[in-house]
């Protein structure tokens, strides 16, 4: 670590970044939150906000003055700018925590690990399973009725709460012992999509049921859903088909090992997001 103590959080307005900024600030750390649009960012009082765009590595470097540690994820569709952003971070900070992505075709996991761990600064890669927050894709159906329609209802997943990801990231950013690690992070349980619907219903206190669609029906449903990006429909369904063909997820205890608290179960995530389903 350098003597600089400020923590830079990129993608600070996202699911994980919001929790991370709030948690680091509450624990007394100086935080600079990066967004492309500082005017719209809502952060706790006392958190500094800076403008930065990952597509423009120079704008990220301009955010790094006085920073000791950086949280980074990669929301772009190609990885071509990632080396330049990481090099900028390594020039100015002593530690980076990178939230891995499975969604960038030219950035396989091995390449992400090699880039991040090859920087010559302290580095940690977080490799999570599916985010529980993806279940908000069903929120419109659940608000409108008691049935959730989709394909691959028997697909088993381990869903992880975004707050657990932020908690692991906070530890890796602020405590020793995480350098060189790639952490595979899961939730505490494996549930099929149909079982997830049941748990949502039980937690909300409403009977909900899964209705199986063919892939083609599910594809058309996603295209008709204005809240779902059309370009992601094939990617999602192809990903689910591939997951179903592979082995079921293997649970890890890494969230608890790193944070001291067990990973939050799905019913806790639903309770935290209940207002979004009514």
Ligand X SMILES: NC(=O)c1ccc[n+]([C@@H]2O[C@H](COP(=O)([O-])OP(=O)(O)OC[C@H]3O[C@@H](n4cnc5c(N)ncnc54)[C@H](OP(=O)(O)O)[C@@H]3O)[C@@H](O)[C@H]2O)c1
Contacts to ligand X by CB under 6 A? 11-17, 35-37, 52-55, 73-76, 99, 101-103, 128, 130-131, 134
> Measured from the CB of residue 77, what is the shortest distance to ligand X in angstroms?
10
Task: Judge contact between 73 and 101, C-beta under 8 A.
Answer: yes
Nearer to ligand X, 28 or 162 (CB): 162
3-state secondary structure of 60: helix
In the DSSP assignment, the letter for residue 176 is S
Burial 52-83 (b: 16+ CB within 10 A, else e): bebeebebbbebbebbbbbbbbbebeebebbe
> Measured from the CB of residue 176, what is the shortest distance to ligand X in angstroms?
25
Cross-strand bridge partners of residue 48? 32
- Nearest Cα residue to 69 out of 110, 14, 32: 32
- Nearest Cα residue to 193 out of 211, 170, 167, 175: 211
Nearer to ligand X, 35 or 174 (CB): 35
> Measured from the CB of residue 73, what is the shortest distance to ligand X in angstroms?
4
Nearer to ligand X, 153 or 239 (CB): 239
- Nearest Cα residue to 114 out of 104, 125, 103: 125
**Cα 15 to Cα 259: distance, rounded to the nearest angstrom:** 19
Nearer to ligand X, 216 or 276 (CB): 276
Nearer to ligand X, 22 or 130 (CB): 130
CB atoms within 10 A of CB 237: 18
> Measured from the CB of residue 10, what is the shortest distance to ligand X in angstroms?
6
> Measured from the CB of residue 3, what is the shortest distance to ligand X in angstroms?
27
> Measured from the CB of residue 62, what is the shortest distance to ligand X in angstroms?
13
Task: Judge contact between 73 and 14, C-beta under 8 A.
Answer: yes
């Amino acid at each position: 670590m350098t003597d600089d103590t400020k923590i830079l959080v990129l993608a600070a307005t996202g699911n994980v970044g919001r929790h991370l900024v709030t948690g680091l600030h509450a624990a007394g750390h100086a935080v600079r939150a990066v967004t492309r649009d500082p005017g719209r960012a809502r952060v706790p009082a006392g958190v500094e906000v800076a403008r930065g765009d990952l597509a423009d590595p120079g704008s990220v470097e301009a955010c790094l003055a006085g920073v000791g540690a950086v949280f980074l994820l990669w929301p772009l569709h190609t990885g071509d700018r990632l080396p330049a952003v990481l090099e900028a971070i390594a020039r100015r900070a002593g530690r980076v925590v990178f939230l891995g992505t499975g969604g960038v075709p030219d950035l396989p996991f091995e390449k992400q690990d090699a880039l991040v761990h090859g920087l010559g600064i302290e580095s940690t890669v977080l490799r999570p399973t599916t985010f529980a927050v993806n279940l908000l894709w069903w929120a419109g159906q659940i608000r409108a009725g008691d049935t959730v329609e989709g394909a691959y209802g028997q697909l088993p997943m381990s869903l992880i709460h975004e707050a657990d990801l932020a908690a692991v990231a906070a530890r890796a950013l602020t405590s020793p012992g995480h350098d060189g690690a790639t952490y595979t992070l899961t939730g505490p349980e494996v549930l099929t999509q149909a079982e997830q619907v049941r748990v949502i219903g039980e937690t909300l206190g409403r009977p909900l049921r899964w209705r199986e669609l063919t892939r083609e029906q599910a594809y058309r449903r996603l295209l008709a859903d204005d809240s779902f990006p059309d370009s992601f429909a094939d990617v999602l369904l192809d990903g689910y088909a591939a997951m179903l063909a592979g082995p079921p997820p293997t649970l890890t205890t890494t969230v608890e090992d790193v944070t001291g608290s067990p990973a939050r179960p799905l019913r806790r995530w639903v309770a935290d997001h209940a207002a979004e389903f009514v």
